Amino acid sequence: MNVPVANAREINELLARYGVKFGIYKNGTFNEQLFPFDAIPRIISAEDFSHMEKGLIQRVDALNMFLRDIYSDRKIIKDGVIPEDFVCASKGYLAQCADLIPSKGIYSHISGIDLVQAKDGTWYILEDNLRIPSGASYPLIARELCRMASPGLFEGGRIADNRNYASLLKNTMDYVNCGGINVILTPGRLNAAYFEHSYFAEKTGAVLVQNTDLFVEDNILYMKDYQGGKTRVGAVYRRISDEYLDPLTFLPESLIGVPHIMDAYRAGNTAIINAPGNGVADDKGIYYFVPKMVKYYLGEEPILKNAPTYLPFYDEDRKFVLDNLEKLVIKDVSEAGGYGVVFGRDMTREQLESWRRLITEQSRRFIAQEVIDFIDLEIAENDKTVMRKADLRAFVLSGEKTQVWASGLTRFSRKADSFVVNSSQGGGFKDTWVLSQE
């Protein structure tokens, strides 16, 4: 089943009009780029998806249990499964959130899990994104436009309908809501993902707000209305990062945060989606320990595999990394968005030597992974079809239960031979079709 959707050019024009863009900071300047859409869908079989779904639910459940544990009893540290260094010295760990249990005990409500499929068909987890994973709106709107362009393709229910993302998201917000309305808190028009913020607000019935629309009084979060009245807010799907969330708790210079929102949250009067402090669980250093978490918290074998990963922090792993550097990919644990990723095979002899020194000196700062030769997907380029590397961001929503959205964001590299698919590195995207039966 290889079915290019008709009118690809027109769909891209419409996406541009709707503001489906990506903002990129480079050398201190902000540029908005279109996020190019490729009309050839990625197709995932029902069987493949069902396996992936079980594995993702298991993984996200374990990650949520980990977050709850390390912000309360810290049993996994006391039991020696994860060294405290990897928790407390992580940039994403917020001591300001210790002993603070969010509504219904859920930390990661919306998880964006990045996977790749190796040439032998095995799916590997590349990265967990538990802070503010973006991107679900892109396949959603692309599907909407494709339905208009090629309605026949979607007849007969062969392709799982992905329009339920809005209800999954709304149900998640409603489940943790502490009384009051749902809002989506955006830093504003200039944010790279502003299209997504406004689109989700429209689709879920949440109110799109900026910080100046909100205030806290007596540990209760309110939205101001035009008449000078106030409406209680029970859940905030915030699209601003932890450090800017509350200038009275985190960065004092934040101008996009809501003063005292952390006090309302601590008092249990509002839910914050996703919970502040989640960064500790999607740290690249913690990634290594996720299969161990699955065993520790759930007593199960992990269904989905990590890419083989080495932690130079451990002597044995460091020796292996130094000896095999030219075959490995090195990632800086504190970087995201495809930054801080270097491949040993691209290095000169001098560079290899200086990386060896750096890894020895700062062993906690890096992880090393084997390079997975993941599959190429067909991309339409100037009336031709070319093969490019692609990954998949699956969206997992945790409310009353944990569910995987039967779609996802497929991102591809627009450069031949490049393994970096991040949109912030100039990649494009595809719709992801999950087949509903074999």
Q: For another protein, which residue of 252, 299, 350, 361 counts as binding (CB under 8 A)? A: 252
Q: For another protein, which residue of 101, 153, 267, 435 counts as binding (CB under 8 A)? A: 267
What is the distance between the terminal CA atoms of the chain, rounded to a whole angstrom?
12
Number of residues that bind another protein (CB under 8 A): 27
Q: How far is the CB of 95 from another protein (least distance, A)?
A: 4
Q: For another protein, which residue of 10, 32, 79, 217 counts as binding (CB under 8 A)? A: 217
Q: Residue 87, interface with another protein (CB under 8 A)?
A: yes
Q: How far is the CB of 260 from another protein (least distance, A)?
A: 6
Residue (51 or 74) nearer to another protein, CB:
74
Query: Do residues 273 and 182 touch, judged by C-beta distance below 8 A?
Result: no
What's the rounded Cα separation, in Å, for the pair 23 and 35?
9
Q: Residue 263, interface with another protein (CB under 8 A)?
A: yes
Q: Which stretch binds another protein (CB under 8 A): 103-111, 242-250, 365-373, 419-427?
A: 242-250
Helix (H) or strand (E) holding 293: helix 290-293
Q: Residue 218, interface with another protein (CB under 8 A)?
A: yes
Residue (230 or 305) nearer to another protein, CB:
230
With b meaning 16 or more CB within 10 Å and e meaning fewer, what string describes 372-388?
Answer: bebeebbbeeeeeeeeb
What's the rounded Cα separation, in Å, for the pair 343 and 332?
12
What's the rounded Cα separation, in Å, for the pair 332 and 339?
8
The binding track of 157-196 with respect to another protein, each residue x by CB under 8 A or -, is: ----------------------------------------
Region at 279 (left for phi over 0; alpha for psi -120 to 50; beta for the rest)? alpha
Q: Residue 249, interface with another protein (CB under 8 A)?
A: yes
What's the rounded Cα separation, in Å, for the pair 312 and 367?
7
Q: Residue 239, interface with another protein (CB under 8 A)?
A: no
Q: How far is the CB of 287 from another protein (least distance, A)?
A: 20
Q: How far is the CB of 70 from another protein (least distance, A)?
A: 9
Q: How far is the CB of 259 from another protein (least distance, A)?
A: 4
Hey, which residues between 269 and 288 contact another protein (CB under 8 A)?
none
Cβ neighbours around 357 below 10 Å, total: 10
Hey, which residues between 47 and 86 contact another protein (CB under 8 A)?
74, 77, 84
Q: Residue 215, interface with another protein (CB under 8 A)?
A: yes
Residue (100 or 435) nearer to another protein, CB:
100
Query: Do residues 402 and 396 touch, judged by C-beta distance below 8 A?
Result: yes
Q: Residue 260, interface with another protein (CB under 8 A)?
A: yes
DSSP assignment of 91-150:
TT--GGGTT-PPGGG-S-SEEEEEEEEBTTS-EEEEEEE-S----THHHHHHHHHHHHH-
Q: How far is the CB of 309 from another protein (least distance, A)?
A: 23
Q: Residue 325, interface with another protein (CB under 8 A)?
A: no
What's the rounded Cα separation, in Å, for the pair 281 and 263?
23
Q: Residue 247, interface with another protein (CB under 8 A)?
A: yes
What's the rounded Cα separation, in Å, for the pair 434 and 280?
31
Return the SS3 of 413: coil
Q: For another protein, which residue of 23, 259, 268, 340 counts as binding (CB under 8 A)? A: 259
Q: 193: Cβ–Cβ under 8 A, 6 or more apart, which residues?
A: 22, 23, 134, 239
Residue (87 or 235) nearer to another protein, CB:
87
Q: What 8-state DSSP symbol labels residue 269?
A: S
Q: Residue 93, interface with another protein (CB under 8 A)?
A: yes
Q: Residue 216, interface with another protein (CB under 8 A)?
A: yes
Point out which residues bind another protein (CB under 8 A): 74, 77, 84, 87-89, 93, 95-100, 215-219, 247-249, 252, 259-260, 263, 266-267
